[in-house]
Chain A
């Protein structure tokens, strides 16, 4: 199986505290992966490193068929390479309509001049409609996103991620604060997405992870503790000691 993202030997230190310690991780181009781990295991820092928000002290981050290094690239550049990220808290542009939010996320030229003279094509508009349909916000298309419910904002953010057409989706606790029905919907969207691209989900909720039915990576103290199916890792003694057993 070919590799889309390979992280090897990455370490990062904050004021003497090793948040990530010699971490290695790889994921294929159309694969779903769940990352679990106790608080402070380095899950969010791992995402920060991949998306360029945090600069690692050492290690390699190799991306795509051409094996380019993501290390040292700006966040925007990495995003344009095809890495999309969803935050733990729903972050959408509350002052703008759902339509504007989606249009902004749509995969198009990102330079200031191109954007200044940008006029949405019929294809773009159709894509926005389709996405809105997919995330169940078609009726709310012209509402300000600040007026949406918490779950709707989560979906809008996922919709924006899909609009970016990333090759790798990094999703941080997508199901937090959702009703069971909403979770179901979210799971479907993510599973659907993973058919054509890589999806990495950071999640606490075991039930949700189980429903994703994918390979699981357990992080602990900034390093990979175990990897495999959910059943495999939950029987791992180390994992039980540090995480599940508590």
Chain B
């Protein structure tokens, strides 16, 4: 009871307070009360203008509340409030001028102001003015972003007005840019637009191209005789040259300037409706499977007035000659379209150059991937001469090791750091086991090695399917590898690809170090060049072969982790790389790591290059690349970097 009295008291007090104080916003709202309650897009402008031009700090609040349908009118006195629904279903009212709570009111006593979408858009534009000058930079940025996303002519003025007062340099630059773009698109002054276009010329932004392209959109129109003066013509179209005669005539038909042609399906349908006594137009039904019989029957129907005639080619030509076909810019201003097309040409040239740069980066990253996939082979195949068709499965094994580690260690950074050595250990062990059990019995019998390792490849692939299922499993990269290094709107490269590039380079360094600076490298080279001599000098060829093969396999495993990061981990992962890996080694030149590097570069760049010509079809790109390689082998059977003479062997 006591609480109720207190509440009532409070309500009374605030009401008196509100009424007693000055209430400028409420006054404005009351002035335009009729417009606001029965708002429509056509009539509301004065009300919005009155609020936004009032210079009152609360104007923005009012507009926002209005836009989000939070303004309610109290039926008893017609006053407007911002209202908020409580849990019980009643509404708390807030005064606009003081911002204070005015207590609760029942819904029955209130009427919601519901502006329609057109009105809300107008309110939105008015709001932008405030938002662009908001004290909070985040709000200003949000407003700017919304302008960039939905540009319109009425935003131009508020945007311009907000530039001078902008304090944040970054935002200022962005506002300037947005202002230039809006000027190009919407300014009423032709010369201002042209100036803006030339200001921006050469810029690579996608937004600029998105602004310029609509200016150059055209429509095709037909005119009887000459086209009228004063049109912003893009070009005249000569039927048969710039536009096919069929398309030109279809335009005439659509414009109602010529009779439609009758196609075969229509002729057939018309003939079908005029069958009488197994005949149409005097032609027997069974003859109508001949085109000329059909033409005769149809001509007969036309003669009887039962069908529309198909215009002859002479008639079509006459019609076409009598009309002019033109492409007209949707943008009426000639100087603007001229400036825009010039600017766009500059931009496209610039974009083309940057695209080449991007293509080079793409090729580089693909080359690093192939290099990674092939470097293990460069050791087992290139140095030892062992054909390991299960190499791809070692890559797969490394990727699955990464996946398993990631299940055990949830932290992505830590798990990758653990996965790389673990993958090496696992595939090293697998490689050593395979060398001991199978390959060492088959040295000097490469075709049999090839077959036996095929068998292992088939078995390992199926084993992976049995253990991990056929679905692709994710190997997630650490957060700091997400995202991309963006140079401009055209050139960008993801961090993960940069990481793979760095990994490929470090592998190259490790390989060179092992082969040139370590005992193992020396012994490996000795054993591959002359096993008997090496053995007589105290080198154990069995041990060296085992370790070298293990090393090659281990590197394949690490490559698997890297490949798994950007491709999904499946049992077919290795399969996808095995042919390319062998191609890389063969094209580069067997027995030479620089050859492998050159081979990877060639294949990587080539594939990207072919894809660039035909971006929609990566299958075709691979097909053409393989054909190219087959032809390349013709001219350099020993690869790019070939060993000559006796050292190469036969």
Contacts and interface: CB of A to CB of B under 8 A. Distances in A.
Interface of A: 13-15, 17, 19
Contacts of B647: 14-15
Which of B643, B644, B645 has the most A CB atoms < 10 Å from its CB?
B645
B633 to A, nearest CB: 19
Interface in B631-647: 643-647
Contacts of A17: 645
Nearest to A14: B645
11 contacts: A13-B645, A14-B644, A14-B645, A14-B646, A14-B647, A15-B643, A15-B644, A15-B647, A17-B645, A19-B645, A19-B646
B533 to A, nearest CB: 15
Given A13-B645, A14-B645, A19-B645, 7 more contacts: A14-B644, A14-B647, A15-B643, A15-B644, A15-B645, A17-B645, A19-B646
Nearest to A44: B646
A17 B647 CA distance: 11
Contacts of B646: 14, 19
Interface of B: 643-647
Contacts of B645: 13-15, 17, 19
Contacts of B644: 14-15
Contacts of A19: 645-646
A91 to B, nearest CB: 13
A129 B388 CA distance: 47
Contacts of B643: 15
Q: With a 10 A CB-CB cut-off, give which of B643, B644, B646 has the most chain A CB atoms.
A: B646
B183 to A, nearest CB: 68
B644 to A, nearest CB: 5
A51 B492 CA distance: 58
A89 to B, nearest CB: 14
A15 B644 CA distance: 6
Contacts of A15: 643-645, 647
Nearest to A17: B645
A19 to B, nearest CB: 7
The SS class assigned to the A binding surface is strand
Contacts of A13: 645
A13 B645 CA distance: 8
B54 to A, nearest CB: 90
A14 B647 CA distance: 8
Which 4 pairs from chain A and chain B are nearest by CB? A14-B645, A15-B644, A15-B645, A14-B646
B576 to A, nearest CB: 37
B529 to A, nearest CB: 14
A26 to B, nearest CB: 26
A82 B644 CA distance: 29
A14 B644 CA distance: 6
A175 B147 CA distance: 96
B643 to A, nearest CB: 7
A18 to B, nearest CB: 11
Nearest to B644: A15
A119 to B, nearest CB: 33
A15 B643 CA distance: 8
A19 B644 CA distance: 12
A13 B646 CA distance: 10
B532 to A, nearest CB: 16
Nearest to B645: A14
A14 B646 CA distance: 7
Nearest to B646: A14
Nearest to B650: A53
A17 B645 CA distance: 9
A23 to B, nearest CB: 16
Nearest to A13: B645
B465 to A, nearest CB: 41
B435 to A, nearest CB: 29
Contacts of A14: 644-647
A13 B647 CA distance: 12
A47 to B, nearest CB: 14
B531 to A, nearest CB: 18
A44 B40 CA distance: 103
B447 to A, nearest CB: 16
A19 B643 CA distance: 16
Nearest to A45: B646
B646 to A, nearest CB: 6
A55 to B, nearest CB: 11
A14 B648 CA distance: 10
A14 B643 CA distance: 9
A17 to B, nearest CB: 7
B420 to A, nearest CB: 38
A14 B650 CA distance: 14
A218 B646 CA distance: 22
A235 B644 CA distance: 38
B439 to A, nearest CB: 25
A15 B642 CA distance: 10
A15 B647 CA distance: 9
A39 to B, nearest CB: 13
Nearest to B643: A15
A103 B549 CA distance: 45
A227 B616 CA distance: 71
A15 B641 CA distance: 12
A156 to B, nearest CB: 23
A13 B644 CA distance: 9
B106 to A, nearest CB: 101
B589 to A, nearest CB: 13
A245 B646 CA distance: 28
A10 to B, nearest CB: 15
Nearest to A53: B650
A68 B644 CA distance: 28
A178 B646 CA distance: 28
A13 B643 CA distance: 13
A239 to B, nearest CB: 25
A19 B645 CA distance: 10
A19 B646 CA distance: 10
A14 B645 CA distance: 5
A152 B643 CA distance: 37
